[in-house]
Structure 1
Amino acid sequence: MHEARFAWGALTRRLALGLFCASLALPPGAALAQTRDVVVFAAASLKNALDEAGAAWMRETGKRVVVSYAASSALAKQIEAGAPADLFFSADLDWMEYAASKGLIKPESRVSLLGNALVLVAPKEAPVQVALKPGVDLASILGGNRLAMGHVDAVPAGKYGKAALEHLGAWAGVKDKVAQADNVRAALLLVSRGEAALGIVYKTDAVSDPNVAAVATFPEESHPPIVYPVALTKDSANPDAALFLGFLRSDKARPFFEKQGFTALSKASTGS
C-alpha cells in the first residue's frame, strides 16, 4: 500500500511537471490571451453607451469586456506607461495621434467611429437662456459662479470648450471663473450637484444626467470637429479584442451610441 501511494504521488508530480513544462513552451502571453477579458481604455463620455454595448456583446458571446474610463489624455499616458489595455477609445484625434506617434496602437486597426456635439449645461432646476453667438457675455451670465469644464490643456472636452469660447470672444471674460475637472464626466457632476452654475460638456453627457439640462449648443464651426477614434493597442495579444472592435463597428452596436446622442462616422462593418 505504501509503495502504491508512493507510485501515485510520483506519477502526480511527473504530470504536474509535464504540464508546467508544456506551459513554458507556449508563446509568451498565449495562455493569458485565451482566457482574459477584453480590456478597453475609453473616454469618460463613452460610459453609458459603451457599458450597454459591452453587455450586449457579453450576452451574444459569453465573453466579458472590462472598461477603464478617464480622460483620453490620462488613458494615453497610462498605455504609454505600460498599462495592459487591448483597445484605446479616444474622445479626440489628438490623443490618438499621440498614441500612434509613440507606437502604442496597431495603425491598421484604427477607425474614426463616432462624432459628438458640444453643449452648455445648467442644473435642471435653474434653467438659463443663452445664445451662443459671437460676442456672448458669458461672464455676466455666470456672475460670481463657476463654469465647469474638462482641463483645457489636456482633456478633449476642455480643449474643444476653450476653442469654442475663444471663437465666440468669451474666453477672456470667463477664464478666471473656470473650474477645471479631470474629465468631462467630473465637470458634468459639478453642474449636476449645483457646485457650478454652468458647464461645457458633450451632448451625450447632458443626455446621461437627469439633473442637468442642455441650454445651448455651440456652433460646429466654433471648435474642431469632435471625432472619437478607436484602435487596438500594439501590445494586445487577446484575439477577442479584434472581435469586440468588429462588434463596435457593426450595426449591432450602433443603436447604443445613437441612443446617447453620438453620430456614427464609420460605415458599419459586418463583423460581430
Structure 2
Amino acid sequence: MHRLAGIFLSLAILVGSALSPVHAEDKTLTVFAAASMKNALDDIDAAFTARTGIKVSASYAASSTLAKQIEQGAPADIFVSADLDWMDYATAKKTINEATRVNLLGNTIVLIAPKDSRIDHVTIAQGFDLAKLAGDGKIATGDVKAVPVGKYAKAALEKLGAWQAAEPKFAMADSVRAALTLVARGEAVLGIVYSTDAKVEPGVKIVGTFPVDSHPAIIYPVAATATAKPEATQYLDYLHSQAAKTVLEKYGFNYLLKPVS
C-alpha cells in the first residue's frame, strides 16, 4: 500500500513538473514599446511583476518597426507607440484590440548637443538657422520618413523655415535612442530627441526646446494586441494607476490619463 502511494506521488510530481513550464509561460507578457519608453517602462514592469507575479518581456524599438513586426505576426501582447500614426496603422491592419486603445502620454522634442559642446542656449523660433548652428557637423534624429521623433522634428523644422537648409546635414537613425547615442558619442554635433531621452543620458545637454505649436502634438497611445493574453488587461490597468503615473512623470512624461487606482 505504501509502495502504491509512493508511485502515485511520483506520478503527481512528474505531471506537476511537466505542466509548470506551460503555466509559467502563460504568466509572461510581451510588451512592444517605443524606444523612448525604455527607462520608465523598465521600472514600471518591475513593479508590475512584483505586484502580480506576471513577468514582462519588453522589446524596445522605433514605433514603425514594432508596428510592422506585429503585423508580421510577432507575439506581442501590448503595443505602446510614440505617435498616433503607427497606432492608427496597427488599427487599420486589425492587429490591436481597438477597444483597449487609450492615449497614455505626452512629450516634447528638444535640441541636444554633447555635454562638452560650446553650443549652449539656442532660441528655437521662426527663422532660426539650424544649418549654420551645426556648421560642418551632423544633426542626428530618427528617420524622418518613419520614426516618430524624426517625423515630429521634420514637421517642426518645416514650420520654422529651417528644414531645407539643414536637411543635408541630418544623420537619420533607426530609433530615437540611436540618435541620442550618436550625440552622446560626439558623432553628431546636434540632435533632436524627446526631452525624456535627454534627461536619462548624461553625455548630452538640452540646448533648446521646440515650441509645442511647431509640430503635431506628441502623443503615446497604448493598446492590447488582437492576440493578447488575458493578463494584458491587468497590465493596462496598471498603466492607469497612480503608481505608474508617478514613475512616468518622474521620467518627464506628461501623463494624459486620470488614474483609476
1:192 matched residue in structure 2: 184
Structure 2: runs of 5+ lacking an equivalent: none
1:66 aligns with 2:57: yes
Instruction: Choose from 159, 163, 171 the match for 2:155.
Output: 163
Partner of 1:27: none
Larger radius of gyration: 1
Confirm or deny that 1:150 pairs with 2:142: yes
Residue 262 of structure 1 deviates from its aligned partner by 0.2
Distance 1:150 1:32, change over 3 A: farther
Equivalence for 1:35 = 26
1:124 aligned to which of 106, 111, 115: 115
Q: CA deviation at 1:34?
A: 6.5
1:57 aligns with 2:48: yes
Equivalent residue for 2:197, pick from 196, 201, 205 = 205
Aligned length in residues: 250
**Partner deviation per Cα, 1:23-65 (whole Å, 9 max, x = no partner):** 9xxxxxxx56972411000000000100000111112222211
Contact 1:120 1:214 in 2 (8 A): yes
Distance 1:34 1:183, change over 3 A: closer
Please give the per-residue CA displacement for 1:70-112, whole angstroms capped at 9, x wherever unaligned: 0000000000000000000000000000000000111111010
Q: Which amino acid aligns with 1:110?
A: R
CA contact (8 A) 2:239 2:245 kept: yes
TM-fit CA distance, 1:121 = 0.3
- Between the two proteins, what is the percent identity of the paired residues? 54
Aligned AA (2:41)? L
Please say if 1:225 is aligned against 2:217: yes
Equivalent position of 2:82 in the other structure: 91
Q: TM-score, normalised by structure 2?
A: 0.90
Partner Cα distance (2:154, 2:258) in 1: 31
Partner of 1:134: 126
The offset of 1:220, in angstroms, is: 0.5
